[in-house]
Structure 1
Amino acid sequence: MSETALGPLRVLDFSRVLAGPFATMLLADLGATVIKVERPGTGDDTRSWGPPYDAAGQATYFQSVNRNKTSVALDLANPDDLAHARALALEADVVVENFRPGVMQRLGLGPEVLLAANPGLVLCSVTGFGSGGGAALPGYDLLIQAVGGLMSITGDPAGEPQKVGVALVDVLAGLFASVGILAALRHRDRTGQGQRVEIDLLSSLLAALVNQGSAYTSGGTVPARMGNRHPSIAPYELVPCADHELALAVGNDRQFAALCEVIGLPELAEDSRFVTNPARVAHRTGLRALLEDHFGKRPAAEWAAELSAAGVPAGEVNDVAGAFALAERLGLNPTVDLPRPDGTSVRLTRNPIGLSATPPRYETAPPDAPGQLTLPLPGWS
């Protein structure tokens, strides 16, 4: 086995569902030993979130964020199990939890207690709305997308607000959590001192609004739904072809000139309405009408091939199967097969981080059931 970036880091994972488990899976992929604490019997909520299930009857939701981990079943309301949890935390390098604020303190696992006994510990808390005024609010992704403004800029302007088709805020929070944990570990390497890492879903979403957020904070503009159009770039949208839609993402004047050549209208690149991107944004409706007239004459695949050859960003709108097939054709190897104890395997999306010296590892499938490990676990590594 090749060297890993984070071995022999020890991570105790109290988190459930998506944001926390995603963060700890990223750490596990990079070599950390991750023990997932689950409720006896039922385990993580997502073990029952199905369909779909795989051929072995496992919920694919749970599988998506729990590879390379082992599981221990602990009832934190049971004094003996709680004592085991505390012992594991005091031997850990990182503890991750996403209970509501105050729960870890009530269990005797709060940062004051753990950091006093284990000064080098990095303790990461993931909440929905922080530990202040929003402490009592439940942090479900749909709710965050709604109150956090994402749904207000997603969907057709004539329709209802739309959520993104995946729990994107949880994924973003998991990414921020993993970055925060690594930064805290770097600080510990220099000073020997651990610290708290606090991530909340609402702040994660607001940070991820990027240009839409700064349109409001520094430009005084409240963004609105525009369907597949872009507020600052044109043409940057879907255009209908003879069979189905084509994604067209023209990011500069050179690309627009190349687009005009491909569709046989080179004069558009010199038209005062379209010669610059701000002009195209101002006249996007007229530009779209001209594009629709031409793109509707041929299939999307033909346009995509010809435009791509000319250096114009364009592509068909794939379903998920088509997206994985594209990645395969491009040699990106988008999936990995992880072994199960019974000799079968489960296929999952690979970690996208490429490291030349310490690449991600893919050693074990997500645990089939809570409680693989036998307690106590002295000196776990």
Structure 2
Amino acid sequence: MSQVWGITLKGMEALRVEVESEITGGLFAISIVGLPDAAVKESRERVRAALRSLGLSIRGRVAVNLAPADLPKEGAILDLPIALSIAGSMRSIPAVPPGIYMGELALDGRLRGVRGAVSAAILARDLDLPLFVPEENVPEVSLVEGCNARSASTLGDILEFLRGEKELPAIEPVFPETIPSSPEPDFADIRGQSAAKRALEIAAAGHHNILFTGAPGSGKTLLARALRGILPPLSRNEFLEAAQVRSTLGTAFDEGMAPPFRTVHHTASIVSICGGGSTLRPGEVSLAHRGVLFLDEFPEFRRDLLEALRQPLEDGQITISRASGSVTYPCRVLLIAACNPCPCGWSGDPVEQSTCSAREQDRYKKK
């Protein structure tokens, strides 16, 4: 029997999973136990094909146990430790040394990137264990200082390293301060709108939420996007928090130190903004952590959605509870909302004439 350590995600937290495998005689079969989801169960074919591409054919009945047994396991993040555990049971490699292994396997043995690399690096650093990740996850892992991590492009590279036939490149830490920020609309290039620009400066200095009201084309969206440029750059810990949320979802993140900026359409659901679903994923309010959340056409958002945002905006975190468990995500954001003064948008405009009655304008403002 061979034992290898992998991880699974519960919210932003990476939890260590012990992968055990045993091969016995009989007809070929692979069974995986330990509350695996559909993606983990499908790893049987990926692992079998990847090992066969290296000349390792599995024979007999294979039992794979994912411990702890009462912890749900999800995603293809456990492909690599399952393959190493089976290879160890086949005596194709020596005993796998303690470490955390993660990665999705292609049928030809290539390693694909997975989500949760930042959380895995934090766990490996706290446990003082080496971490082995696919090359695609190197930019994320390099953000965590003090983590002994190595990267590989194929399963064969990992096997050769464990046999002592090859060295894997170490992942050096990269300080976000050395990475240039992506260009943004320059606050200094905006002409006029002195009152709105003054309001943005106050909001940026005191981290206050702000509501823009104006006719279509008056520059509400441009001003909102320019706010990101006058916010102070994120500290290292703040940047790591924001990167960890995005890594949990598996989305790309800005490698600069500028705060994140997220725009939400008024047709978005509560789950997409607040988070949730069967896997308890973070929503837009958490993806904008330490940055700006922009709600355009503010009166068009549903009332229940706006009420759902009230407490997270006050507390700076949101707790998502479902039958499968409960997780907490950070969501300390600066909220910018924009709306028209009336349904047609031209109330108070010096050029265009509003076509809305006084009752329609009052009903619109009450939203």
Mark yes or no: TM-score above 0.5.
no
More strand by share: 2
Q: Please tell me the TM-score bracket, short chain as reference.
A: under 0.3
Q: Determine which structure has greater relative contact order: mean sequence separation of CA pairs < 8 Å that are 6+ residues apart, divided by chain length.
A: 1
